[in-house]
A and B are shown apart, each in its own frame.
Chain A
């Protein structure tokens, strides 16, 4: 379905593939994994040096800029904000096509800024805010980090306690945020703060866009069990911002967060790290190399993992087809995320059964100890972006229509 005047997805892809081929290498066809070749990392989180991480962020931003300037960075956005004015169908089709080329690694700090934060500002910002932020964020010139969770407010975002107090025409922010990806690279932070101590959560919060170099902001890296520091604590001590920094209405913070989380859910099926068969391919190669490919247990478990990966991808395609046909993105993203984390858990278990002690003690052999970083990352994926249990609540309440939690 295309609106009158816009090209069909097929026509759009014809031009897109030419552009991609001119700007990136095609991935080799078939399994991308060759035993013993290249890096054997299969980790879920980046555990690199600060230097390497900075370089990866720069590479991701540079690619985003290249795409934006060629008309592929904001495909479904309005033209007035630098977009191509096409549909989400075009956007998704481009992403599928892009995955056939070798492009810089996806860095969460950049992808969150480019997709979730920029989309939120597009949805909720004033004209001034849209003029100030949309193009720089979408082009990767500036980065925005997301500041929702706090030590006392994880699944229960209704417990957010970071305070924004009125001070004349300004606001003063005091409190702490946690689990902030990319805060160390961000130029601006999208903060949700409590502005009414007594109101129910639907009216208690207000969102702000706060420059990350404002006096009183202290970013401290959080070390996770994989050894790396993908996340940060961010302390706000008397941080003063003008009212023009407010995103949305006073008391509109809960709605703003729900809008952003809806974008996250809609993108969940697309943006998941190992969406293809890379993990199964690795496990198949591992089984063969170890001479275990005739083992009935190994065969059954790998076949099951492969099957569930394919079914998850089919489900995501169906959800996308509904969106392309004019439907709204639904809560199906919760089903995808739940299925994804289970797949990751299972893949880690398979690796352990195949590799034995070589997974947990580094013998230097290719493709063995590398899995230990993967296994350590899985607990984080089951927690971030909505825990498994929150996903199940969402599925049960919003898809199955079961009674909401009593509060």
Chain B
């Protein structure tokens, strides 16, 4: 496909730029220092990402103040952020909330929020999960009409950036079914409690709503398709993030295998290590191919998006956990220490493995495509 092949060098340049920026501005030592505090995000890095590199507006359509790039470019950015393990409002705000808003048909909302998200001036979070932590579970949070708006009662959990974001995009249940709402993060009646997390690079919060004012996006009961589409695209982003981290872990393992001496030679000379790394390379190469294909489908908006998003998310979440685990193992005892970076990637991998639905959930989408007759799909 000539479009893809001529744009590949442009994406390679984007990748190099982002990687170089992160290596310079967000070294691991700085990340470790920040995640030990209440404020894991570096505001200077964030400002540079939006103002200088234009990353926040990259994939937002140009009519809403963005650069109008595709999911292929966005996937590259998310992958590099995952590789660097940078704590940042990017995933929750630009990718998750931004995608949900973009997928709706509410032009007023899009014109109001997307340009500010694109400019890096507004941070956002998407609140969908509740206590059982499943994306397609029935929604408990209730929304009742109140004048021109609505009031929300109930709670949300596991909300990425839930306590830090300026604005929240919230899934709640109305008389006509699941709907999406815009909520001011500092609004009345809203209690935002940070959760202690395994992965300190990804803050999460529990949100308690007691009569919280909210503005509906689009119409009552219209959130189903928007959330389904958002879940597909979020899955691709999760896969890209996992790919970046897995690739980095693999490189750490190869580096160590070449330099650690045991029994008179580098440990990489032994077949146990060699063969393990060959197996891991195959999984990472598969992951790369899967993310590329899923991102291409998203960029072209084909009907393979749910299938390829499920395929990529299942494989990448599993692969990241595997490579991060084996990375510790190949490093031996030092890989098990707090001070070594391997454990930070391991915690990100384990966290991601469950946060966006585990591999079995994603694989079920592939299974449905293969095994369900159209008549079955209604059941």
- Interface, chain A (partner B; CB < 8 A): 280, 284, 287-288, 293, 298-300, 302-304, 306-308, 310-312, 314-315, 318, 321, 335, 338-339, 389, 391-393, 395-397, 399-406
Contacts and interface: CB of A to CB of B under 8 A. Distances in A.
A84 B285 CA distance: 34
Instruction: Across the A-B interface, give the 3 residue pairs with the lowest CB-CB distance, nearest first.
Output: A299-B367, A314-B289, A396-B274
Contacts, number: 107
A315 to B, nearest CB: 5
Contact of A307 (B265, B278, B315): B315
A401 B259 CA distance: 12
Contacts of B67: none
B275 A389 contact: yes
Contacts of A318: 289
Interface residues of B, number: 34
Interface of B: 5, 254, 257-258, 265-266, 268-269, 271, 273-275, 277-279, 281-282, 285-286, 289-290, 292-293, 311, 314-315, 360, 363-364, 366-367, 370-372
A302 B285 contact: no
Given A300-B363, A393-B274, A284 B290 contact: no
20 contacts: A280-B370, A288-B371, A299-B363, A299-B367, A299-B371, A300-B363, A300-B364, A302-B370, A303-B366, A303-B367, A307-B314, A307-B363, A311-B290, A338-B282, A393-B275, A400-B281, A401-B258, A402-B258, A402-B268, A402-B269
A6 B258 CA distance: 46
B372 to A, nearest CB: 7
Nearest to B250: A400
Contact of A335 (B271, B275, B282, B360): B282
A22 B311 CA distance: 39
A280 to B, nearest CB: 7
A303 B273 CA distance: 30
Contact of B311 (A310, A315, A321, A335): A310
A307 B254 CA distance: 27
A382 to B, nearest CB: 14
B281 A299 contact: no
A300 B367 contact: yes
A300 B311 CA distance: 11
Contacts of B366: 303, 306-307
Contacts of A335: 281-282, 285
A293 B293 CA distance: 27
B360 A300 contact: yes
Given A396-B275, A401-B254, A406 B265 contact: yes
Contacts of A284: 370-371
Contact of A314 (B265, B282, B290): B290
Contacts of A312: 286
Nearest to A283: B370
Contact of B289 (A298, A311, A400): A311
A401 B266 CA distance: 12
Given A307-B311, A307-B315, A402-B268, A299 B364 contact: yes
Given A300-B367, A401-B254, A402-B258, A311 B286 contact: yes
A303 B278 contact: no
A389 B271 CA distance: 9
